[in-house]
Structure formats: C-alpha cells, structure tokens
Structure 1
Amino acid sequence: MTEVRRTRGRPRKTQQPDAKPLLVTVGLHEKVSHHLRDMILTGALAPGRELVEVDLSAALGVSRTPVREALKLLAVEGMVELRPNRSARVPDLQPEAITQLFEAIAGIERIAAELAAARITDAELTNLRILQDEMEGYHRATDLAPYFAINQRIHRLIVGASRNKPLQEAHESLYGRAELVRRRALRTPERWDESVAEHRAIFHALEARDSSRAGTLLSDHVSRTGTVVLRHVTAAGRSAEATQAGVQ
C-alpha cells in the first residue's frame, strides 16, 4: 500500500501493483520455456508428443500458469503447436513443410550473408573466428550438443551482421522450427564433416568481404542440410510404415 498526499482532506491510501510477483512470474515461465525447448531439441519430447499442461506442471514442480505461458512462447517460435480445445503438441514436420522451410531459410540467409559481407565489423569477424575454432574442436571431440549450440550462434551472428531488422525477424520466426529437425542431419557423420568445412568456407568469404560468394555458400549450406533432413525424415517415415504393416 502506498500513501498518496492530497491537497485537501486526509491522505488517501491507494493499492498499487506489486512489481515483485510479476517479475517472479515472468522469470518462471521463461525458465520453463527454456527447459521445455531443450527437451524438445534433444528429443526428450519427441515430434508428435502431446504436451499436457497438468503433466508438465507436475513434472517440473510448477503451477499450470507458467507452463501455459511457456507453451505460448514456444508456439511463437514454432517449437510447439497450439490446438483449440486440445493439448499442445510438438509439431511433426511433414516432407513438404520441411522443403518449404529450408527454402525460406536458405533465401533469407543468402541475402543476410551478402549484406553481412559488406557490413560485418572487425570485432564480429574476430568473434566469428573464435566460434568457428570452438565449433571445430567440438566436432573433433564428436560432442554434438555444444557443437550445435555454437552452430546456431554462428548463423544468428551472420544474420545479425546484415544490420537488417526485418531479415532478422523473419529468420528468427523460422529458425526455431528448423532446429527441430536440423540435429537429425548432424547425426549423420558425413554431413557433420561437410557442415564444418562449409562453415569454414563461409567464414573466409565473409573475411574477404566477398558478398556474392558468402551468400551462395551459406544458401547452399542450408539447402544441403535441408536435403539431408528430408532424406532422414522420409526414411524414418517409411520404416515406421513398414513396422506398422508388419504388426497388422
């Protein structure tokens, strides 16, 4: 309660919102969203899995409210699919959707790399070189989780270096959905080796301020990843169909 002075009469006390509980609530649902995002990306919550609020709140030891708000955040990122009068679910991208998704990201990153080659700062290039070296180290150690995290930072750094806000917003709105399936491609040893080499070539093109080459290399890199992901998803679907037919 806060006392408000009046020019006439007795001071009147008014109820003002307490900021602390609000901050705690905001922090909690963001923490829940980070945790759920990690579970989705690592496969602990698999594609097609229903996300029942009461089950998640019990498992995470929180009320349903932060879980509900976290699911809304993840839905904006494309990591969760909200369904009217039904539980949310982890989306299971179909082949056509995967093709369209990677086509869009490849186009966005091509333009971003072309702009970045002209606009990237020396400090950003230094940071990019450090990230590239760290990523290659994790590749040699076959440690996928930190490799993948740095890989994401590199893509976002390049897009950010374009200094084009609409491009960044469009990229961020799609990138979460791609994360759901990109790890599948990197689990293929030969694609992982190719990806590292492609990233090194992209860095050299940016360092040389070669806009055309940087754009082409990054676009081709994303497209090849999409092709491998599509092949993996298609093969997995055929395997599942064969198993189901065998059971019947």
Structure 2
Amino acid sequence: MKAAAALARGARPTLVYHTLRELIVRGQLAPGSRIVETDVASKLRVSRTPVRGALQRLQQEGYIVDAPSLQQSRPTVAPMTHEDALELFSIVAEIEGLAARYAAALDDAARTKLAAVLTATNTKLERASRARQPKHDLLYELDEAFHRGYVTAAAGPRLRALHDVVKPQAERYERLYVSLLSRGIAPSVSEHQAIIRAIRVGDADAAQRAVQTNWRNAADRLGKVITTFGERGQW
C-alpha cells in the first residue's frame, strides 16, 4: 500500500492522522467501530507513538470518541447522529457564508470569473443529477467543488484552516447518505444559483444569506433522511 510505504519511510502523527481521517470520512472505518492502536500501527508499519498522537487529535476534532460504559479507554469511530449533523452543518454554514461574503467583495473582474466557474460547476451538477442512474460519488464531488470554489477564491488563511477542520466532519454525513440525498439535488442547484447571482453583482449580505440558506436546507433534508433510515454507529 502506497500510504503504508510512505509512512514506513518516516512516520509522523500528522500523516497517520490524515490516513485515518480519510478512512473515517469515506466510511471505510464505519461509525461505531473500534480502533485498536496496535492494529493501526501494524497496518501502517509505524510505532504506536504516532498512532497515539493521531488518535488524540482525531478525538479532539470529534472523529473518535471513547466507547461508553467501559473501564478502559477504547477509541471508537464517532457515531453519526441527527444532533451532530445539525451542529456541523450549522458551523459550515457560518464559515462558508463568511467566505461567500468575502467573494462578493472581490473586484468586478474576479467576481465575474468566479461566477462563471461556479455556474459551470453547478450546470454539471444539474446534468449529473438528471442521469437515469445518477453517480452518487460524482454528485458529491461536484457539490463539494461548487462550495470549495468560492471558499478558495476568497477565504483568508484562518478561515480556510477552520474550514479544513470542520468540513470533512460534515463530509462524513454527505458521503454516507448521498444515495438517499440525491433527490434533494434539484433544490440545491436552485439555491446555488442564488449564491452565484449574489456574488456576481457584489451583494455581500445576499451571498452570505444564500449560503446559510443552502446549508440550513441541506441540514433539513439530511435530518429527514436520518429520521427515516436511522442514525449510524449508536451503541
């Protein structure tokens, strides 16, 4: 495994962290599953020290919790709950809303260029959603690319750092439930158009509100799915 080979050449907690986080975000480490320190160290060909550091960081960021009702600490992939999803989506709404506000404050040329890029991405998303058998991974990637477009274009380093910490946690929900959320793409595309319009004309207040509305509605759609199909990884 390429990742294991890279880690073997010079392991660092950060590299172990990113490897484990990616597995969690993509659902390859399922919600509620136990993470055994020695097993991780063996699979990644590292000592337990960087694994321990990575697990501590993942726990601080909410990806991992200690299994309840056990005398000894047993790191477990955090369950995916309605309450947690609402909190994460609300935080992302504020971060990305601020980024959209900054995007609307760019000069005319930059706004026009950004609006064109966002429109192209949103058009691809709409077309992909109309496919007879929509590719769920593609729908996710296009939606992610849309939001990343204005964040990358306008957010400062601190805001991007906050975004990089929180957004992958929301991504867990989007990826796991994407097949059930695909019916919500049409309203999301329309909400994206409102974001584009506000950025294009330089209306910072409207751009921020449009992003917040998009994420609030996404949280509502996700909440209905979780209520119907259940939470993941609860004990």
Do the aligned partners of residues 163 and 36 (structure 1) sit closer, same or farther apart at CA in structure 2, a change above 3 Å counting? closer
- Aligned CA distance change for structure 1 residues 26 and 62 (closer, same or farther; 3 Å): closer
Which is bigger in relative contact order (C-alpha 8 A, separation at least 6)? Answer: 2
> Structure 2: 5+ residue runs without aligned partners?
1-5
Structure 1 residue ranges without an equivalent (≥5): 1-20
Q: Is the 8 A contact 2:30 2:233 kept in 1?
A: no
Match of 2:122 in 1: 132
- What do the CA deviations read for 1:193-245 (whole angstroms, capped 9, x no partner)? 3223322332233223232322222111101111222233333448999xx9x
54, 59, 72: which one aligns with 2:38: 54
Determine the C-alpha separation between the residues in 1 that align with 2:61 and 2:151: 17
Q: TM-score when scaled to structure 2? A: 0.72
Return the offset for 1:52.
1.4
Secondary structure, aligned partner of 1:89: strand
Q: Give the corresponding residue for 1:104.
A: 91
Aligned counterpart, 1:25:
10
Look up the equivalent residue of 1:191 and give its one-letter code. Answer: G
1:41 maps to 25
Which position in structure 2 is the counterpart of 1:14? none
Q: Secondary structure at the match of 2:154?
A: coil
Residues 28 and 102 of structure 1: is their aligned pair in 2 closer, same or farther, counting only changes over 3 Å?
Answer: closer
1:126-205 equivalence runs, <5 A: 126-141=116-131, 142-184=134-176, 186-187=178-179, 188-205=181-198
TM-score, normalised by the number of residues in structure 1? 0.69
Which sits farther off after the overlay, 130-139 or 223-232? 130-139
**Contact 2:34–2:75 (CA under 8 A) maintained in structure 1:** yes
Contact 2:37 2:52 survives alignment (8 Å): yes
Question: 1: CA distance between counterparts of 2:60 and 2:233?
Answer: 30
Aligned residues of 1:182 and 1:225 also touching (Cα < 8 A)? no
Deviation of the 1:42 alpha carbon: 3.3
Does the 8 Å CA contact 2:32/2:233 hold for their aligned counterparts?
no
Q: Distance in 2 between matches of 1:233 and 1:102?
A: 14
Q: C-alpha distance in 2, partners of 1:123/1:196?
A: 19
- C-alpha RMSD of the superposition: 3.7
The count of corresponding residues between Structure 1 and Structure 2 is: 220
Match of 1:7 in 2: none
Q: What SS does the corresponding residue of 1:119 show, helix, strand or coil? A: coil
Amino acid at match of 2:118: L
SS at match of 1:51: coil
Number of the residue aligned with 1:6? none
User: Match of 1:9?
Assistant: none
Structure 1: how far apart are the matches of 2:226 and 2:93?
19
Give deviations 1:23-74, integer Å, cap 9, x for gaps.
94258963x555544432332322111111233344x452344544554554
* 1:227 aligned partner: 220
